């Protein structure tokens, strides 16, 4: 079985869209390829006729500030994100998430857009972007549109845009404002399958004095799609952190997260147990009360 027949490297988005259109469903966008190629080789994705490599398209490689927003091209690699000063200043949760994925060899090619477009319920970068309330730009032959990132996910591995004809171009999200912080944590298990068993990102505005003025949190895998935990956010909003408040938030999170047993990965009981642990740890990270992300031993 041959994974692909033709490999093309367009230099512009229009060129890429034209090739996709000509492929009429038989072409597929590839960025780092770290997920897609394994899926094809291991039979989870059918072989494709044409791979359209978008990693040479300038606007998809950009990281830029515009007003109070940051634009992040979807073909930016995890390594680039981890080392980028603008992102380090503004989006610690994204830095932490992207720094935990794979080893340097994978981070050097794997892209943030690939992580999102793969549409898995617990992509580390995806979870971080959800907490940042990012929007995603999709380009098709008919034009471009922005959508809330949440709208992009339909089910496990399923996206709301047509990945054989459309391209995920980039993301935009707000810069960090006063009293705003973010954090990302995940828990791995060194037995069984090499996938995180639970991850979480939190964006937070507030202080010790004012408590939580506003909060956004995302968790995975907690259902068929990456979950923005709005009910839990509502419990926490306007409160000061205490054991009691965290217990209430955990209760809410267990209510809205659809946790399940994944064979050789985690039992539902363990995931339920970890939910509170992870909430406490990620809150501590986001509120600056935790040490920096440790190396993921299970990774």
The reply to whether 108 sits near other proteins by the rule CB under 8 A is yes
Closest to 229 measured CA to CA, from 270, 196, 199: 199
The reply to whether 106 sits near other proteins by the rule CB under 8 A is yes
The reply to whether 253 sits near other proteins by the rule CB under 8 A is no
SS3 annotation, the chain: CCCEEEEECCCCHHHHHHHHHHHCCCEEEECCCCCHHHHHHCCCCCCEEEEEECCCCHHHHCEEEECCEEEEECCCEHHHHHHCHHHHHHCHHHHHHHHHCCCHHHHCCCEHHHHHHCCCCCCHHHHHHHHCCCEEEEEECCEEEEEEHHHHEEECCEECCCCCCCEEEEEEEECCCCCEEEEEEEECCCCCCCCCCEEEEEEEEEECCCEEEEEEEEEECCCCCCEECHHHHHHHCCCCCCHHHHHHHHHHHHHHCCCCCECCCECHHHHHHHHHHHHHHHHHHHCCCCCCCCCCCCC
Piece in contact with other proteins (CB under 8 A), picked from 90-98, 162-170, 191-199, 246-254: 191-199
The DSSP bridge partners found for residue 77 are: 111
Piece in contact with other proteins (CB under 8 A), picked from 143-151, 169-177, 190-198, 214-222: 190-198
Among 187, 212, 236, 257, interactor with other proteins by CB under 8 A: 187
The reply to whether 260 sits near other proteins by the rule CB under 8 A is no
- Yes or no: say if 200 and 127 are a contact pair by the CB < 8 Å rule: yes
- Yes or no: say if 249 and 286 are a contact pair by the CB < 8 Å rule: no
The reply to whether 264 sits near other proteins by the rule CB under 8 A is yes
At closest approach, how far in Å is the CB of 103 from other proteins? Answer: 3
At closest approach, how far in Å is the CB of 119 from other proteins? Answer: 19
The reply to whether 1 sits near other proteins by the rule CB under 8 A is yes
At closest approach, how far in Å is the CB of 79 from other proteins? Answer: 7
Among 61, 62, 109, 254, interactor with other proteins by CB under 8 A: 109
The reply to whether 259 sits near other proteins by the rule CB under 8 A is no
Rounded CA separation 290/283 (Å):
9
At closest approach, how far in Å is the CB of 226 from other proteins? Answer: 21
Cα 34 from chain centre: 15
The reply to whether 247 sits near other proteins by the rule CB under 8 A is no
The reply to whether 243 sits near other proteins by the rule CB under 8 A is no
At closest approach, how far in Å is the CB of 50 from other proteins? Answer: 10
Which x/- pattern, by CB under 8 A, does the window 69-88 give for other proteins?
----------x---------
Among 270, 284, 287, 293, interactor with other proteins by CB under 8 A: 270
At closest approach, how far in Å is the CB of 265 from other proteins? Answer: 9
Q: Which is nearer to other proteins, 51 or 94 (CB)?
A: 51
Among 46, 148, 277, 288, interactor with other proteins by CB under 8 A: 277
Cα 280 from chain centre: 21
Where along the sequence are the contacts to other proteins (CB under 8 A)?
A: 1-7, 9, 30, 33-34, 37-38, 41-42, 51, 53, 55, 79, 102-106, 108-109, 187, 189-194, 197, 264, 266-267, 269-270, 273-274, 277, 295-299
């Amino acid at each position: 079985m041959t994974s692909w027949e033709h490999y093309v490297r367009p230099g512009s988005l229009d060129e890429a869209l034209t090739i996709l259109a000509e492929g009429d469903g038989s072409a597929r966008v590839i960025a780092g390829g770290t997920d897609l190629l394994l899926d094809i080789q291991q039979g989870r994705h059918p072989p494709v006729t044409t791979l359209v490599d978008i990693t040479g398209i300038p606007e998809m490689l950009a990281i830029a500030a515009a007003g109070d927003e940051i634009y992040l091209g979807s073909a930016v690699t995890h390594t680039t994100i981890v080392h980028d000063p603008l992102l380090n200043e503004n989006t610690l949760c994204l830095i932490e998430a992207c720094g935990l994925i794979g080893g340097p060899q994978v981070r050097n090619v794997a892209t943030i857009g690939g992580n999102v477009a793969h549409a898995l319920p617990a992509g580390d970068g995806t979870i971080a972007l959800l907490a940042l309330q990012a929007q995603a730009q999709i380009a098709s032959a008919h034009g471009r549109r922005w959508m809330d990132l949440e709208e992009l996910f339909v089910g496990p591995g399923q996206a709301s845009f047509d990945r054989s004809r459309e391209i995920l171009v980039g993301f935009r999200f707000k810069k960090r404002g006063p009293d705003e912080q973010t954090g990302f944590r995940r828990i791995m298990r060194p037995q069984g399958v090499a996938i995180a068993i639970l991850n979480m990102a939190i964006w937070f505005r507030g202080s010790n004095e004012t408590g939580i003025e506003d909060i956004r949190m995302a968790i995975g895998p907690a259902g068929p799609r990456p979950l923005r935990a709005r009910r839990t956010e509502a419990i926490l909003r306007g409160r000061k952190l205490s054991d009691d408040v965290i217990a209430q938030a955990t209760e809410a999170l267990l209510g809205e997260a659809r946790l399940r047993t994944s064979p050789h990965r985690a039992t539902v009981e363990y995931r339920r147990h970890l939910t509170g642990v992870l909430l406490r740890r990620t809150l501590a990270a986001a509120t600056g009360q935790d040490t920096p992300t440790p190396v993921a031993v299970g990774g």
